[in-house]
Amino acid sequence: MRTLIRARGIVDGTGTGWREGLSLLIDEERIVRLGLASELRVEAQRELDFSNCTLVPGFVDAHTHITIRPGEGNQHGQLAAPPVWQAIRAVKNIRQMLQSGVTTIRVMTEKHRIDVEFKDAIERREMVGPRMRVSTVGLTATNGHAPSLPSVDGPDDLRKAVRRNLRAGADLIKIFCTGGVSSTFGMPITASSYSREEIRAVVEEAHRAGKPVASHAHGGEGVTLCVEEGVDSIEHGALLTEENIEKMAARNTWLVLTNAILFHPSGIERGDAHQPAIMSKVLQAREAMESTFERVKEAGIRFAVGTDSMHGLIGYEMEWLVKHGITPEQAIVAATRNGAQVLGLADQVGTLEPGKRADFVVLNGNPLKDIKAVYRVAAVFKDGQMVVPDQPDQQVYQRVKEEI
Ligand SMILES: [Zn+2]
Torsion angle of C-alpha atoms 114, 87, 256, 225, degrees rounded to 10: -40
Q: What is the pLDDT of residue 336?
A: 98
pLDDT at position 244 over 70: yes
Give the distance (Å) from ligand 1 centre to CA of residue 398.
39
The pLDDT, as a whole number, for residue 271 is 83
Cα–Cα distance, 352 to 116 (Å, whole number)? 27
What pLDDT shows up at residue 397?
53
Average pLDDT over residues 198-206: 98
User: What percentage of residues in the chain have a pLDDT greater than 90?
Assistant: 86
Overall average pLDDT of the 302-325 stretch: 98
**315 C-alpha vs ligand 1 centroid, how far in Å?**
18
Does position 394 have pLDDT exceeding 80, yes or no? no
Rounded to the nearest angstrom, the distance between the alpha carbon of 401 and the centre of ligand 1 is 37
CA of 132 to the centre of ligand 1 (A): 15
Q: How far is the CA of 108 from the centre of ligand 1 (A)?
A: 6
Q: Please give the distance, rounded to the nearest whole angstrom, from the Cα atom of residue 313 to the centre of ligand 1.
A: 14
| pLDDT digits 0-9 by tens, 314-357 | 999 999 999 999 999 999 999 999 999 999 999 999 999 999 99
Task: Give kind and range of the element (H or E) at residue 403.
Answer: helix 394-403
Which CATH code fits 59-342? 3.20.20.140
Peptide bond before 389: cis, by omega within 30 degrees of 0? yes
Distance 200 CA to ligand 1 centre (A): 22
The pLDDT value given to residue 274:
85
Residue range 220-244: mean pLDDT, rounded: 97
State in Å: Cα 150 to ligand 1 middle: 16
Lowest mean pLDDT among 23-32, 275-284, 376-385: 275-284
Between CA 353 and CA 355 the distance in angstroms is: 6
Quote the ligand 1 centre to 262 CA distance (angstroms): 11
CA 185 to each of CA 189, 277, 367: distance values in angstroms, whole numbers, following the listed order: 11, 8, 41
Residue 175: helix, strand or coil by DSSP?
A: strand
Q: Is the pLDDT of residue 291 over 70?
A: yes
**What is the pLDDT, as a whole number, of residue 268?**
85
CA of 305 relative to ligand 1 center, distance in Å: 12
**Residue 399: what pLDDT?**
47
Average pLDDT over residues 227-250: 97
Q: Where in the chain is the domain with CATH 3.20.20.140?
A: 59-342
For ligand 1, the distance from its centroid to the CA atom of residue 294, given in whole angstroms, is 23
Q: How far is the CA of 277 from the centre of ligand 1 (A)?
A: 18
392 has a pLDDT exceeding 50 = yes
Q: How many Å apart are CA 254 and CA 300, to the nearest integer?
A: 11
Q: Are strands 213-217 and 173-176 parallel, antiparallel or unpaired?
A: parallel
pLDDT at 89: 96
Say yes or no to pLDDT of 403 above 50. Answer: no
CATH 2.30.40.10 domain locations along the chain: 2-57+352-403
Task: Answer for the pair 172, 130: CB distance below 8 angstroms, yes or no.
Answer: no
- pLDDT tens track for 105-141: 999 999 999 999 999 999 999 999 999 999 999 999 9
For domain 2-57+352-403, give the fold. Urease, subunit C; domain 1 (2.30.40)
**What's the pLDDT tens digit per position in 81-101?**
999 999 999 999 999 999 999
Instruction: Give residue-wise pLDDT tens across range 44-58.
Output: 999 999 999 999 999
- This model's pTM is above 0.85: yes
Q: Who contacts 283 (Cβ-Cβ below 8 Å, separation ≥6)?
A: none
For ligand 1, the distance from its centroid to the CA atom of residue 21, given in whole angstroms, is 39
Query: Rounded CA gap, 93 and 67, in Å?
Result: 7
Protein residues with C-beta less than 5 angstroms from the ion ligand 1: 108, 308
Distance, CA of 65 to CA of 79 (rounded, Å): 9
Q: What does the mean pLDDT of the chain come to? A: 94
- Residue 399 CA to ligand 1 center (angstroms) comes to 37
- Please determine, for residue 276, whether its predicted confidence score (pLDDT) is greater than 90: no
